């Protein structure tokens, strides 16, 4: 990736403030899948970062057509297939890295074709299928003892892995499970109960859903805090899914939030159908819903870990994205995420928003050439966000992407002339250097450094107390 810098310039003349358009990020495709079938295609999972190497998986392709596990350097070099899957197939949940070992799940395959839990070393050796989910009984609505079709990311405390299966279990509505990293002691912590069938509307179409006390179909992964696991279900509850907490020994299952019913056009006040995992910061959870909200396009929300303080931070309007399906990334007080639809080309968007709901910004729009169907959570290295899109790209096999977020001025309530001069908020990725400079002339500028700061991922305020003495002029912010 080429080193790049950008400037955001603000014109001040006769106290008239105008912000000029300037890129606030650099988008790069690090790898296009689908060059050959054996290369793999359709990366549905989150990436995991180890040093300067990204690890991920493809749901299809490879030597056997069952998907692949791959590695790629953060500069786009060194793509390699660690394994073409054989018995297990179609990995759709993100892996977790412990030491030099990756742990993950597959959606299908295994001894009963209901998915598996596996591990593999980062050099491609030591592949081991730790657990195969058992056979289901179609006549009893797909029930079994341990779950079926895991899709969510695994989470670990170092010696134990925790995960979800979206289907199966005693009622066919999914399970929460744990397993030791050596493959022993697989245990079902929670089986989600039977639902009473009804009809709702998600994505603008009728959808068979159901109600129950605890929720149903946990598709997203879990987040761990001490001995408590937090997650969400896509269905069940009073109408459109729940946010829950449960102890790592399976006790104390508690519903923290019931999402409300939706109207005929798919709208409601709080969102519907959370399919992604949650993001935890202190005693606050952040997440997204794929439906509901004021336009039926989903939302971003926050919720206290005790179940209080639910707040909708942003309702998507389709023009700024629609149907978010990925777990949010938190950097400082900034959340980064993607939507699966909406935006300029209706292929989805990349967005950022502050944890208090302020300064929602669309950072980019997906397209057929840049990638589509982005459901993966970003990982952060230096000032670049890395993720995958399952389709699109040069070969329509999906891409690995890098989005370098550069320092930017925020056009919020602090922008403008204050009592002590002219000021504005600015932000960027944590540990990024931001330099603010001033010039009285733009055609042939001489830039005067005013302020240098190491960013924290949260908004910071700059004020120029000498504004009244300089009159009109220009400011710019950039990285070295």
Smallest CA-to-CA distance from 364 within 405, 323, 325 is with 405
Average pLDDT over residues 464-472: 70
Integer Cα distance of 244 and 217 in angstroms? 12
> In which residue are the tokens 């400011």 written?
475
Q: Output the CA–CA distances (angstroms, integers) from residue 309 to 285, 301, 334, 402, in the order listed.
A: 10, 10, 19, 34
Is 424 a residue whose pLDDT tops 70?
Answer: yes
Is 471 a residue whose pLDDT tops 80?
Answer: no
Confidence band for 41, pLDDT divided at 50, 70 and 90? very high
Residues with Cβ within 8 Å of residue 263, at least 6 apart in sequence? none
Q: What is the pLDDT of residues 290-307, one digit of tens each?
A: 999 999 999 999 999 999
The encoded tokens of residue 390 equal: 């399952």
Is 206 a residue whose pLDDT tops 80?
Answer: no
Q: How confident is the model at residue 265, as a pLDDT?
A: 80
Integer Cα distance of 437 and 447 in angstroms? 6
Smallest CA-to-CA distance from 152 within 274, 281, 280 is with 274
Helix H or strand E encompassing 405? strand 399-405
Helix H or strand E encompassing 480? none
Confidence band for 18, pLDDT divided at 50, 70 and 90? very low
> In which residue are the tokens 């081991």 written?
128
Q: Report domain extents, the chain.
A: 8-22+421-478
Q: How confident is the model at residue 251, as a pLDDT?
A: 98
Average pLDDT over residues 238-249: 95
Beta bridge partners, 425, equal 410, 461
Query: How many percent of the chain have pLDDT more than 70?
Result: 90
Integer Cα distance of 390 and 399 in angstroms? 7
Is 205 a residue whose pLDDT tops 70?
Answer: no
199-205: long-range contacts (C-beta < 8 A, 24 or more apart)?
Answer: 200/239, 200/240, 200/261, 200/262, 200/272, 201/262, 201/264, 201/265, 201/266, 201/291, 201/296, 202/262, 202/266, 202/272, 202/273, 202/290, 202/291, 203/266, 203/290, 203/291, 203/323, 204/265, 204/266, 204/296
Average pLDDT, the chain: 89
Smallest CA-to-CA distance from 268 within 239, 244, 309 is with 239
Confidence band for 19, pLDDT divided at 50, 70 and 90? very low
Q: What is the pLDDT of residues 131-183, one digit of tens each?
A: 999 998 876 668 999 999 999 999 999 999 999 999 999 999 999 999 999 99
Q: How confident is the model at residue 177, as a pLDDT?
A: 98
The encoded tokens of residue 268 equal: 């409601």
Is 17 a residue whose pLDDT tops 80?
Answer: no
Smallest CA-to-CA distance from 427 within 383, 394, 471 is with 383
Is 20 a residue whose pLDDT tops 60?
Answer: no
The encoded tokens of residue 465 equal: 């107390």
Spatial contact of 19 and 10, defined as CB atoms under 8 Å apart: yes
Q: How confident is the model at residue 158, as a pLDDT?
A: 95
The encoded tokens of residue 62 equal: 């490879």
Is 384 a residue whose pLDDT tops 70?
Answer: yes
Q: How confident is the model at residue 139, as a pLDDT?
A: 62
Asked which of 123-132, 271-280, 460-469 is least confident by mean pLDDT, the reply is: 460-469
Between 110 and 14, the more confident residue is 110
Average pLDDT over residues 190-209: 61
Question: What value does the CA radius of gyration of the chain take, rounded to a whole number of Å?
Answer: 23
Integer Cα distance of 410 and 424 in angstroms? 7
Smallest CA-to-CA distance from 314 within 344, 337, 348, 332 is with 337
Is 380 a residue whose pLDDT tops 80?
Answer: yes
Based on DSSP, count helices (H) and strands (E) in the chain, helices before strands.
Answer: 1, 41
Beta bridge partners, 209, equal 198
Centroid of chain to Cα 16: 39
Q: What is the pLDDT of residues 313-369, one digit of tens each?
A: 999 999 999 999 999 999 999 999 999 999 999 999 999 999 999 999 999 999 999
Q: What is the pTM of this model?
A: 0.91
Other CB atoms within 10 Å distance of the CB of residue 36? 11
Q: How confident is the model at residue 197, as a pLDDT?
A: 59
Centroid of chain to Cα 50: 18
Average pLDDT over residues 371-398: 94
Integer Cα distance of 453 and 435 in angstroms? 7
Largest CA distance in the chain: 81
Integer Cα distance of 428 and 222 in angstroms? 28
Integer Cα distance of 252 and 107 in angstroms? 28
Is 204 a residue whose pLDDT tops 50?
Answer: no
Spatial contact of 245 and 253, defined as CB atoms under 8 Å apart: yes
Q: What is the pLDDT of residues 438-457, one digit of tens each?
A: 888 878 889 999 999 999 99
């Amino acid at each position: 990736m080429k080193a790049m810098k950008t400037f955001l310039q603000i014109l001040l003349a006769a106290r008239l403030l105008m912000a000029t358009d300037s890129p606030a990020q650099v988008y790069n495709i690090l790898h296009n899948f689908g060059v050959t079938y054996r290369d793999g295609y359709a990366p549905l999972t989150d990436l995991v970062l180890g040093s300067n190497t990204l690890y991920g998986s493809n749901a299809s392709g490879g030597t056997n057509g069952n998907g692949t596990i791959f590695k790629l350097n953060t500069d786009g070099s060194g793509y390699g297939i660690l394994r073409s899957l054989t018995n297990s197939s179609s990995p759709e949940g993100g892996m977790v890295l412990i030491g030099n070992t990756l742990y993950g799940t597959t959606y299908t395959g295994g001894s009963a074709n209901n998915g598996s839990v596996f591990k593999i070393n980062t050099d491609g050796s030591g592949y081991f299928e730790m657990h195969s989910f058992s056979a289901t009984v179609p006549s009893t609505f797909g029930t079994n003892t341990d779950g079926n079709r895991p899709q969510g990311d695994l989470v670990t405390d170092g010696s134990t892995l925790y995960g979800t299966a979206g289907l199966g279990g005693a009622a066919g509505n999914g399970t929460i499970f744990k397993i030791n990293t050596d493959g022993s002691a697989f245990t079902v912590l929670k089986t989600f109960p039977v639902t009473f069938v009804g009809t709702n509307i998600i994505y603008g179409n009728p959808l068979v859903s159901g109600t129950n006390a605890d929720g149903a179909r946990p598709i997203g992964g879990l987040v761990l805090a001490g001995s408590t696991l937090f997650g969400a279900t896509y269905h069940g509850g009073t109408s459109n899914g729940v946010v829950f907490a449960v102890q790592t020994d399976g006790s104390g299952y508690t519903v923290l939030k019931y999402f409300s019913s939706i109207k005929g056009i798919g709208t409601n006040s709080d969102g519907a159908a959370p399919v992604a995992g949650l993001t935890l910061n202190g005693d606050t959870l952040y997440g997204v819903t794929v439906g509901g909200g004021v336009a039926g396009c989903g939302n971003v929300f926050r919720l206290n870990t005790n179940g209080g303080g639910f707040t909708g931070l942003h309702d998507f309007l389709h023009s700024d994205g629609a149907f978010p399906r990925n777990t949010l990334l938190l950097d400082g007080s900034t959340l980064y995420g993607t939507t699966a639809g909406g935006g300029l080309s209706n292929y989805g968007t990349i967005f950022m928003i502050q944890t208090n709901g302020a300064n929602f910004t669309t950072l980019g729009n997906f397209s057929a050439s840049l990638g589509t169907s982005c459901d993966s959570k970003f990982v952060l290295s230096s000032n670049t966000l890395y993720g995958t899109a399952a389709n699109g790209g040069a070969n329509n096999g999906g891409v690995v992407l890098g989005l370098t977020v550069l320092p930017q001025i925020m056009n919020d309530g602090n922008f403008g002339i204050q009592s002590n001069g002219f000021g504005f908020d600015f932000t960027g990725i944590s540990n990024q250097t931001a330099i603010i400079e001033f010039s009285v002339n733009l055609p042939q500028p001489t830039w005067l450094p005013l302020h240098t700061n190491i960013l924290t991922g949260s908004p910071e305020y700059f004020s120029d107390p000498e504004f009244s003495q300089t009159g009109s002029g220009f400011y710019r912010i950039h990285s070295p």
